[in-house]
Structure 1
Amino acid sequence: MLITENDKIELYYRALLERKESFVGIFFVGVKTTSVFCIATCRARKPKLENVEFYTSIKEALDNGYRPCKICKPTENANKAPDQVERAIALVQQNPKEKITDNQLRKLAISPNIIRRWFKKSYGMTFQSYQRMYRINNAFQELKKGKNATHTAFDMGYESLSGFGYTFKKMIGNSPKKSSDKKIILIDRLTTPLGPMFICATEKGVCLLEFVDRQLLEKEFEDLQKRLNASILVGNNKHIKQAKREVAEYFEGKRKVFDVLLETPGTEFQNIVWGCIKEIKYGETITYQQQAERICKPKAIRAVASANGCNRISIIIPCHRVIGKNGNMTGYSGGIERKKWLLTHEKDS
């Protein structure tokens, strides 16, 4: 959203002049004279008040024609987890069977309020919910290996079997005894030059890679869980780690082909279309018409476009390389400006 309230504009401009860290991620300032946008702590020479406008999200700045500043790198630094958050996450991962309390955080000089706000904004959940998901995922893995439910419950720090069973059923969908055939989709977060993304993977491979501000993302999560008969829990696996590394290499201009395994539940036609997209070479583009012709369905342009729109794995399945007639930039869920950026990035690499 473009900020129009004068008092807020003045507040943000003062924060920009003073490089206040507490405003990082709160606003993004577009500089009209250079067409770049920055975060509050940018070290570049400060523009005049009449030459700036403030937005509340990266996507809005991009959509209005601004490109990321090369000095403060707003799309990376605004969404990168602060040191306190990284320490809190490490604490959870190092103690998967223990509930981390606010008091424990304070003893380590970690502010519970900072942690709470960051998780709500970045994950759409509380830090306590994040912990529960992480603990239940670990419990699920132990149950699949044949461990007794009672022992698992108490090992995970639950004071009663009923409390463990209630939380487990709420997150997994079934009781511990009835979850042997249930699958888990792990979800993690990564930061890119175009903003933060969610990445999901099963034991078979990556099944989702989307910008966190993607419209209808919640419906994508619901559809994915339904198609795979799975529940989404916070976690990590080898496919997520590999994808994170490869995506970072892509943005650094060091990778043109992705090797990570994928799992793409969908119709037969959708998978044919997605397979066609994967064959478009780095730095090249095709039209929807050409894509329809490549799969021997020259009259199915709208169906092809619809299937493209159902692609859940951005960048790795590069639907940004499919364009409209006469080179028109159309139909990209991450936003047209991101599509332009990706195509320029590939052309210049």
Structure 2
Amino acid sequence: MITAELKKEYYRALLDKDTEYEGVFYVGVKTTGVFCRPTCPARKPKFDHCEFFESAQEALLASYRPCKRCCPLSHPNQVSELVQRLVKAVEENPEKRWTEKDFQELSVDASTARRQFKKRFGMTFVEYARARRMGLAMKQIREGGAVIDAQLSTGYESSSGFRDAFSRIMGAAPTLLGQSNILKASWLDTRLGPMIAIADEEALHLLEFLDRRGLEREVERLRQKTTSAIIPGETEPIRSIERELSQYFDGELKEFKTPVTFLGSPFQKSVWEVLRNISYGETRSYSDIARALGKPSAFRAVAQANGANQLAIIVPCHRVINSNGELGGYGGGLTRKKWLIDHEKQGVCIT
């Protein structure tokens, strides 16, 4: 988490173009919509116009695009020609979903692209492209419905790109919703990174980290299962979970009260109910969950249901680990899983 003091330190480094901070942080400039390296030669923004990030992925998910002057993801002195070429290709069409054929057309080996991006930025090329696309489509969520029509009419990166990106992820452009069932979506800033919350007026349907792999497919399944359009906005369940998440991360809340809706098979729902009964600060194995369901051999099915959970943290799939004590998997990433487990254990010790 970037504290107020750290923000001041980063801003001083930005003004001084301090090379020691290269790779330590990136700065998003709210007035231009770009993010830069600490040593960017461009005119320095005011402090209030800056948003600081510890990774390029965070900046992309916050809807910022790479600065063309300092090239934060493709500076010629720091990355290969391949990375420069792929970053340029994404910026020419940020809404694009990359396939094997696209790599072939550029005469690029997909595994090489994955390896070079992972080594340089801590994320694969596909993760980078997805983060750029998600940031593009989530910009309207963060800024609210009043801005959407202006963005759609003026275009974002291209005349139709933003509308297309919105439609692919949310199901319909806001101006085309008509009389559809409506779910509201909001951007939530948390200590572990941005999350998206989707709810109706009664209950929360989805809570996920924005960089979760497969999030777009999750949103699409939700839209189809509920036959709804999803638009930016807030409902009482969203306001409730935002308050509770803040309390949870501050160590002041151990049990979530926000009403939720489960959309899954009977077996998945039974697994999720067992997960909610794992006490704060404790962990269980997949085999433990299977035995609790009376199906001791179904631990693989339990793991699959665990991965299908769409209510991160509320339904605490992070509390499920392997029988040998290893962390196992987690849709939000193992670093977050370890942090959540340690955070809860610390909270138990304090009390």
Is TM more than 0.5 here?
yes
Equivalent pairs: percent with the same residue? Answer: 34
1:212 corresponds to which residue?
Answer: 210
- SS across alignment from 2:324: helix
Q: Is the aligned partner of 1:171 residue 2:149?
A: no
The CA distance in 1 between the partners of 2:284 and 2:336, in whole Å, is: 17
TM-score norm. by structure 1 comes to 0.56
Query: CA 1:262–1:27 in 2, change beyond 3 Å: closer, same or farther?
Result: farther
1:16 corresponds to which residue?
Answer: 21
Query: CA 1:274–1:20 in 2, change beyond 3 Å: closer, same or farther?
Result: closer
Cα distance, 1:22 vs structure 2: 3.8
The CA distance in 2 between the partners of 1:243 and 1:292, in whole Å, is: 29
1:56 partner amino acid: A
1:310 partner amino acid: A
Structure exhibiting the larger radius of gyration computed from Cα positions: 1
The CA distance in 1 between the partners of 2:237 and 2:223, in whole Å, is: 18
2:46 corresponds to which residue?
Answer: none
After superposition, the C-alpha distances for 1:130-174 in whole angstroms (9 at most, x for unaligned) are 88955899xxxxxxxxxxxxxxxxxxxxxxxxxxxxx9x943797
Query: CA 1:175–1:282 in 2, change beyond 3 Å: closer, same or farther?
Result: closer
* 1:77-156 correspondence runs (5 A): 123-125=135-137
After superposition, the C-alpha distances for 1:111-138 in whole angstroms (9 at most, x for unaligned) are xxxxxxxx9787423867988955899x
Cα distance, 1:16 vs structure 2: 2.4
After superposition, the C-alpha distances for 1:249-278 in whole angstroms (9 at most, x for unaligned) are 000000000000001111111111111110
- SS across alignment from 2:306: helix
1:322 partner amino acid: V
The CA distance in 2 between the partners of 1:27 and 1:318, in whole Å, is: 36
Query: CA 1:131–1:303 in 2, change beyond 3 Å: closer, same or farther?
Result: same
Query: CA 1:15–1:185 in 2, change beyond 3 Å: closer, same or farther?
Result: farther
- SS across alignment from 1:198: strand
Superposed CA RMSD: 4.0
Specify every segment of 5 or more residues in structure 2 that has no aligned partner in the other structure, as ranges.
1-15, 30-34, 39-49, 65-130, 150-166
2:233 corresponds to which residue?
Answer: 235
After superposition, the C-alpha distances for 1:30-87 in whole angstroms (9 at most, x for unaligned) are xxxxxxxxx9979xxxxxxxxxxx95336xxxxxxxxxxxxxxxx9xx98899xxxxx
Query: CA 1:175–1:22 in 2, change beyond 3 Å: closer, same or farther?
Result: closer
The CA distance in 1 between the partners of 2:143 and 2:192, in whole Å, is: 28
- SS across alignment from 2:189: strand
Cα distance, 1:208 vs structure 2: 0.9
TM-score norm. by structure 2 comes to 0.56
The CA distance in 2 between the partners of 1:333 and 1:256, in whole Å, is: 21
Q: 2:141·2:232 contact (CA, 8 Å) conserved in 1?
A: no
2:223 corresponds to which residue?
Answer: 225
After superposition, the C-alpha distances for 1:276-332 in whole angstroms (9 at most, x for unaligned) are 110100000000000011111111111111011000110011100000111111120
